[in-house]
Structure formats: structure tokens, C-alpha cells
Structure 1
């Protein structure tokens, strides 16, 4: 079940959901409008699933940054989210989709106990200028059924994410 804006706001007040920084004006009927952070990693090289990926990291200036087709960009959310009670799901939204920006297509689920600033997969179909802290998508919160198992307590691969994470699939090769 998807939480409503009132339930999200109440859950933030009680500590069942953490959104930092939180701004109640960013609530929509069933979601919270998250923003792009100020850092981006760019990959212009070939990738190999069995090796760490090479990216250059850049700060997005206040004047904006133009993203180009044919590159992989990894960004990060401005907000950090966390809940030991609810699962989370993050997506881009129509406002950036209409600009030809596809964001976070492959991994939208944040497990119960996942405390992160989300790493964002970003691709563009045409050159487009983006800005730090611009609205970039929506996050929803979902109630779970059954006994919760915390992502943090399970010690999963991305438990300690604090910024932009590149793929760690190479850790499974051995």
C-alpha cells in the first residue's frame, strides 16, 4: 500500500520515515518530490562487469551543467531517506521526462532499513542543462507485509552508501 502525503508527514514527525532535509511543501498526494544533489559522475569509457568502473566526478555548478547523449551519468539525491518501517521506491517524473531525461530506470527499490542518498542513473536523449537541487523525481513509501528484515542488519552490498556508488557487480566475480 502506498502512503498518502498526510501519512508521510505524520511518519516523518514520529521518526518512522526520515527525509533529510525535509520540506512539507515538497509533498504531493502520494509521494515526496526529491531533488538532484550537486555532484555527478560521468562515464565515457567502455564498461566491464568484472571490473570497477571508471568515472570522473564533477560538481554541478549553480549555472548548471549540460548532459550529453551517449554517456552514462551517475548523480545523487539531495535528500537522504531512511525507514525501518517502510520500503521506498524512487523514480523520475514527468517534469524531467518531458525534457528527455531518464533517471533511475533499473533500481527503484529502497529496502526497509536502507538509509541513503540515492545513486541516480541518468541518461538523456538530447543535450539538456540540469541544475543542483532541481526537482528530479518522486519517492513513494510502501507498507510491507510479513516480518520486516532490515537492509542495514543484513549487511548488504550497498549498506554504507553515502554518496554516488558505482556498480559493485565485480565483487561477485572471483
Structure 2
């Protein structure tokens, strides 16, 4: 079951959903619009390796914007810190952004229950597209879980800014 916009507002007010900064003007019928943060990063190697940490650099998105090129993955973060111990957040592009051919999450749209922080967006442009810090880029929906709740306590908890892949830690733990 998905929460409606008014129910998202009620759950934020009651503390069951955390969105900071929060602006009630960003509520939609069954979602909340979020902003692109100020930082963006990308991998510097041409081939990425799941068994090791990949070189990654983070930059500030200039106020005049920056063009995302096709055939590259960019990692950026939301301006907002989002999370809940009671609902499962799922992120999507706003339809206006999707109509420009910009994917805001290539495959990882589910945010684990109990995860808190700035969300890392996996940006991929079908063709060159200029983005700006603070752009209303996506929306988050909140879903009611069924069954026992086990809160997230993983490697990306408390994220601040874009977070590169830590998949190599999974291989090291075997």
C-alpha cells in the first residue's frame, strides 16, 4: 500500500518519516519531490572492478549547471536526508526529468527500511543533458511493509553526498 501526499505529511509531522529539509509544497498526490544536491561524482577508470575499490572523484555542480554525457554513470545525492523505520521509500525520476532521457536511478530504486541519509542517485543520460544544483529531479514514495521489520544497518547508513559502490566489501567478507 502506498501513502498519499497528505498521509506522507502526517507521518513526517508525527516523526515516522524523516525528510530534511522538508517543504510541504513538495508534496504530490502520492509522493514527495526531492532536489538534486550540490555534489556529483564519477569513476575515473574506464573498466570498473567489483572486487576492488574503484577510483572515484567528487565535484561540486556549478551554479551554471553541468552537462551529463551519455555512456557514463554519474553518482549524485539528494539535497534532502530521507528515511523511515516504518515505511519503505522508493525513488523515481520526476516525469519531467524522465522526458529529457535522464535516468535518476539505473536499477536501485528501493531504499531499505531503517536507512537514513542523503540518497545516492545513479544518473545516466540518454543524450547530453544539463543539470543544476537544487533541481527538482525525483520523487520518493513510501510503502507499507508486510511482516516483521528488520531495520537496515548496512555500509551506506548515514550517507552524506554521493557514495561510490562498496560491493568489494561483500567479496572481502566471503
Q: For this structure pair, what is the TM-score category when the shorter chain's length is used for normalisation?
A: over 0.9
Q: Which residue of 1 aligns with 2:94?
A: 93
Contact 1:31/1:138, CA 8 A, preserved across alignment = yes
Alpha-carbon contact 1:44-1:72 (below 8 Å) kept: no
Q: Distance in 1 between matches of 2:44 and 2:70?
A: 11
Does the 8 Å CA contact 2:106/2:124 hold for their aligned counterparts?
no
Aligned to 2:140: 139
Structure-1 residue corresponding to 2:20: 20
* 1:167 match: 165
Q: Gapped runs of 5+ residues in structure 2?
A: none
**Contact persistence 1:75–1:119 (CA under 8 A):** yes
Match of 2:66 in 1: 65
Measured in 2, the distance between the counterparts of 1:71 and 1:145 equals: 37
Match of 1:117 in 2: 118
Q: Which moved more, 1:71-80 or 1:40-49?
A: 40-49
**What's the offset of the Cα at 1:43?**
2.4
Q: CA deviation at 1:80?
A: 0.6
Number of residue pairs the alignment of both structures matches: 171
Contact 1:40 1:59 in 2 (8 A): yes
Q: Deviations over 1:33-60 (max 9, x none)?
A: 1110010002242211111121221100
C-alpha separation in 2, matches of 1:171 and 1:34: 30
* Structure 2 contact 118–158 (Cα < 8 Å) conserved: no
* TM-score, structure 2 normalization: 0.93
Q: Rate the CA distance shift 1:125–1:44 in 2: closer, same or farther, 3 A.
A: farther
Aligned to 1:157: 155
Q: Could you tell me how far apart the structure 1 residues matched to 2:160 and 2:129 are?
A: 27
Contact 1:91 1:105 in 2 (8 A): no
Secondary structure of residue in 2 paired with 1:109: coil
Local SS of the residue matching 2:11: helix
2:10 is matched with 10
Gaps of 5+ in 1: none
> Structure 2: how far apart are the matches of 1:77 and 1:107?
14
